[in-house]
Amino acid sequence: MLNTAITLTLRALSTFRTPQKPLTFSGAGAARKLADFMIQAGQKRPLLVTDSFLLKNGMLDDLIAFLEGAGCTVTTFDGIVPNPTFAVVEAGLKASRENRCDAVFAVGGGSAIDAAKVIASASTSKKSLAQLTGILKVDQPLLPFYVVPTTSGTGSEVTNAAVISDTETHKKKFFVDPKYIPIAAAFDTGLLKSLPAPMTAATGMDALTHAIEAYTSRNRFADTDRDAAMAIKLLVDFLPTAYQNGADERAREMVALGSFLAGYAFTKASLGYVHAISHQISAHYNTPHGLANAILLPRVLRFNRPTCKGRFAKLETMLGQDSTVTDVDALADRFVARVDALAETVGIPVNLTDLQPKDFDAIARDALAEARSSYAVPRVMRKAQVTQILQSVATGNRAISFA
């Protein structure tokens, strides 16, 4: 009954606040095209939100030169760290206000984009970060907001949410509002191809998780099904190539577009237990979000299989080459095996060595609470089943079975 109520609430929010897809630029030089678009829109004092690695390695030199050559005053904030905290956002907000920035231009992964969203919101609001935490708390239009993702996984460039950690407690805080969706995004293959193979794998599997959880959500719609299915196909087909040959710009672009479609799908359809559990693991051990999702995904697929086998079968029919197989159970099993094989191909480990049994109870409790309050999951977990998944992650046993 509770899960049904969550589904109805999410559907109501989706109906009245349907997220809009940002305008997109793609391919070589896409970041410059986006910057030119921003300038034509009248913004010439951008806050460039990024991380020190991109800046110090000269990967943004061309972009900054282009902006300055067009008469822009660029303020650079490179204090982004993985799992950014309120303190990081406050530092970026200070830079924005002191330099009278008229736009926020984020270049980086999900951490940079999430922090930039909240900086863009807080820059125009008198609310504190604590007051902006939660659902529909944004009281003013954001500073014009543009993004260039350098990873393909978070989908943050199209989502209406940001996740920032409390500086003191390190608990994840959610900022959710349609205003967080950027005006436009650029998938620049020149930046994407620099992503190291392990991060390519983890973020790609993160995007696959977004797509599968959206496709199996009880809050799904015709357009989210379409986008999620297309995202799954792009990621399954092109992630291995992007992982094995990072210089392949076509594969990079297709993976980025898959991540974008997956992000749009889950923004409207919601997520599931992979995210509910991984958020708690990241909070306890600072585990990269994409890696935690990638390791958890095969376990949660097996848990959901009794309820989702028909959906899994449809996906396998789309992906598979053997049209002679029509049995739903066989197709569902093939789909789960396909995800296993993809994870192995891109080097996803089968376990997390940091995971400690003493933390299982708290992780399970908080994961179930997050799922109950936020997600229209296809099958409801009990605490014992979350614990079983955590034990399998600790021991490296991916092929677990559930009662």
For the segment 132-190, what is each residue's pLDDT rounded down to a tens digit?
Answer: 999 999 999 999 999 999 988 878 888 888 989 888 877 788 899 999 999 999 999 99
User: What per-residue confidence (pLDDT) applies to 19?
Assistant: 58
Domain annotation for the chain: domains and CATH numbers: 19-192 (3.40.50.1970), 197-395 (1.20.1090.10)
Closest listed residue to residue 177, CA positions, set 264, 117, 111: 117
What are the backbone dihedrals phi and psi of residue 399, each rounded to the nearest 5 degrees, phi first? Answer: -90, 65
pLDDT of residue 3: 43
For residue 44, which phi and psi values (nearest 5 degrees)? -135, 10
Helix (H, G, I), strand (E, B) or coil at 75: strand
Q: According to the model, what pLDDT value does residue 92 have? A: 97
Q: Return all residues near 107 (Cβ < 8 A) that are at least 6 apart.
A: 31, 48, 49, 50, 54, 60, 63, 147, 148, 150, 191
pLDDT for the residue numbered 12: 42
Residue 400 CB: number of other CB atoms within 10 A? 16
Confidence of residue 9 (pLDDT cuts 50, 70, 90): very low
Terminal-residue alpha carbon distance, the chain: 21
- Measured over all CA atoms, what is the biggest interatomic distance in the chain, rounded to whole angstroms? 65
Nearest Cα to Cα of residue 31 among 149, 157, 152, 143 = 149
Q: How far is the CA of 210 from the CAs of 27, 61, 228, in angstroms? A: 23, 32, 8
For residue 224, the number of C-alpha atoms closer than 13 Å in the C-beta half-sphere is 27
Rounded to 5°, the CA angle 90-79-285 comes to: 90
The 3-state DSSP class for residue 222 equals helix
Q: Can you give the pLDDT at residue 18?
A: 52
Residue % of the chain over a pLDDT of 90: 79
Region of poorest pLDDT, from 34-48, 145-159, 308-322, 373-387: 145-159
Cβ neighbours for 41, distance < 8 A, ≥ 6 positions apart:
144, 183
Q: Determine the pLDDT at residue 2.
A: 37
CA angle at 154 for the pair 153 and 160, rounded to the nearest 5°: 145
| 292 DSSP assignment | H
pLDDT for residue 5 is more than 60: no
Mean per-residue pLDDT, 282-304: 93
Check whether 10 has a pLDDT greater than 60: no
Model confidence, pTM: 0.86
**228-254, pLDDT tens digit by residue?**
999 999 999 999 999 999 999 999 999
Which has the minimum average pLDDT: 30-44, 77-91, 125-139, 318-332?
Answer: 318-332
Contacts from 21-25 at CB under 8 Å and sequence distance 24+?
21/158, 21/264, 22/147, 22/157, 22/158, 22/181, 22/182, 22/183, 22/184, 22/185, 23/183, 23/184, 23/185, 24/184, 24/185, 24/186, 24/187, 24/260, 25/184, 25/185, 25/186, 25/187, 25/188
